[in-house]
Structure 1
Amino acid sequence: MSEQIRVLVADDHVIVRTGLKLLLAQQDDIVVIGESADGKEAVETALSIRPDVVIMDLSMPPGTNGIEATTQLKRLDPAIHVLILTMHDNENELFRVLQAGASGYVLKDAIDSELINAVRIVAKGEVYLYPSATKKLVENLLQEISNEESPSTYKLLSDRERETLVLIAKGYGNKEIGNLLYISVKTVESHKSKIMAKLGLNKRHELVDYAIKRGMLDLDYYT
């Protein structure tokens, strides 16, 4: 890495890009060497000018979003570090960002000093997460450890209940699930209640999270 941290700013909003460039220009150790308005352009520009850090907006419709762009860029040049910028404090997005290869995740409403600090940390090859994101990761790790130490709740489900759970997680309604499994809506609701009781869950989105974290959406049940 050069003496100054070389940064590429990728965001579909001109005002945001301008604000970021003005903020970064005030730092003696940071220089903005390029900007992009969408994910595809961000990948192409980054491969051309080779910045130390790409500040990548998570949502850049239409076309290639921040996660897709990060995945492509890290595959083509792992040495370029990516710092994701987003408006949403979302746990699922956080895990997807890290899986894509990003080195950091910052909320757009973060104070200026936090963003600057994140750029400097990521440029060193380290990982930066805003405080609440770190807390979520720790909580998730502790939950996984707890699940590993206790008997697997998945084993408590019958084959039919597992099929029902997968279809629920894939977004099918009770009537659609009934048609796919050749059972009544009442039976679907009964399976759903038993699944929740066995897994200790109370809401539909918790069932979806459970299925996603255990890779159940890869199961090819009637899809």
Structure 2
Amino acid sequence: MSGGIRVLLVDDHAMLRAGFRTILDTQPDITVVGEASTGAEAVAAASALDPDVICMDVQMPDMDGIEATRRIVASPDSHAAIAIVTTFDRDDYLFSALDAGASGFLLKNAGPEDLVAAVRALAAGDGMLAPEVTRRVLRRFGREDPAAPTLVPAEPFTDREAEVLALMAEALSNAEIGARLYIGEATVKTHVSRILQKLGARDRVQAVVLALRGGLA
């Protein structure tokens, strides 16, 4: 990525933002381009700074991170992928964040390497949900109304795309999917790209949520 990954940090605690900046700015491919302390500031900063990735807190004054995420994702001028980074491991935050368009969900007690990995994953369009979070998503949408209409993709999936989508729903990375199916990682990326196009999804997290809700995975 030309110029590296541009990151916006959003949290109402200055010390935490400083810690995140220290972690991320030491990476040669990541640059923190700005900070915000409220959801409203985040929306304005996302428009002004055009970041690739936004690390977004939930509980903030003025406007919470869920609403800020919804507004940023809805903006036609924004291409940022948003990771919710919160202290609170709550299902209402998780599912509200996914509904708002977040591409990742990370707890603040995660290690520095997890933060860096999440930023890189989101910048690559991969999305990021920890395995335990993915299991909760599976349980949640596994309980959806069985009479709900099946999602119909814009074009039918090929057999291989259906296999890749099923493995995406297990939270496997592209490399892991390639190893499971005995195909190259570049081929997996091609299949993932086609799946996103057919579902009209921004990233693989949204694709998995859409597929689970629509009975495709």
TM range (shorter): 0.5 to 0.7
AA of the residue aligned to 2:146: E
C-alpha distance after superposition, 1:71-99 (max 9, x if no partner): 11111134111111111111121110011
Q: How does 1:76-87 map to 2 (within 5 A)?
A: 76=75, 77-87=77-87
Q: How does 1:5-84 map to 2 (within 5 A)?
A: 5-60=5-60, 62-76=61-75, 77-84=77-84
AA of the residue aligned to 2:85: L
Shift of 1:138: 1.4
Identity of aligned residues (%): 41
Shift of 1:132: 1.5
The residue aligned with 1:199 is none
**In 2, are the aligned partners of 1:91 and 1:133 still within 8 Å (CA)?**
no
CA distance, structure 1, for counterparts of residue 26 and residue 42 of structure 2? 23
* Local SS of the residue matching 2:134: helix
Shift of 1:148: 1.8
CA distance, structure 2, for counterparts of residue 57 and residue 2 of structure 1? 27
The residue aligned with 1:94 is 94
The residue aligned with 1:118 is 118
Q: How does 1:170-181 map to 2 (within 5 A)?
A: none
* Local SS of the residue matching 2:109: coil
Instruction: Tell whether 2:128 aligns with 1:128.
Output: yes
Gaps (5+ residues) in structure 2?
A: 148-217
After superposing the two structures, state which structure 1 stretch, 12-21 or 134-143, moved more.
134-143
**In 2, are the aligned partners of 1:39 and 1:65 still within 8 Å (CA)?**
yes
CA distance, structure 1, for counterparts of residue 12 and residue 2 of structure 2? 28
Q: Which has the larger radius of gyration?
A: 1
- What is the aligned residue count? 146
**In 2, are the aligned partners of 1:55 and 1:85 still within 8 Å (CA)?**
yes
Higher relative contact order (CA 8 A, sep 6+): 2
Q: How does 1:133-212 map to 2 (within 5 A)?
A: 133-144=133-144, 148=146
CA distance, structure 1, for counterparts of residue 106 and residue 139 of structure 2? 19
CA distance, structure 2, for counterparts of residue 14 and residue 32 of structure 1? 14
C-alpha distance after superposition, 1:119-160 (max 9, x if no partner): 11111122211222111011223333xx528xxxxxxxxxxx
AA of the residue aligned to 1:68: E
Shift of 1:26: 1.3
Shift of 1:36: 0.7
CA distance, structure 2, for counterparts of residue 42 and residue 88 of structure 1? 20
CA distance, structure 2, for counterparts of residue 89 and residue 56 of structure 1? 14
CA distance, structure 1, for counterparts of residue 111 and residue 138 of structure 2? 23
* Local SS of the residue matching 2:8: strand
Gaps (5+ residues) in structure 1?
A: 150-223
**In 1, are the aligned partners of 2:46 and 2:78 still within 8 Å (CA)?**
no
**In 2, are the aligned partners of 1:7 and 1:52 still within 8 Å (CA)?**
yes
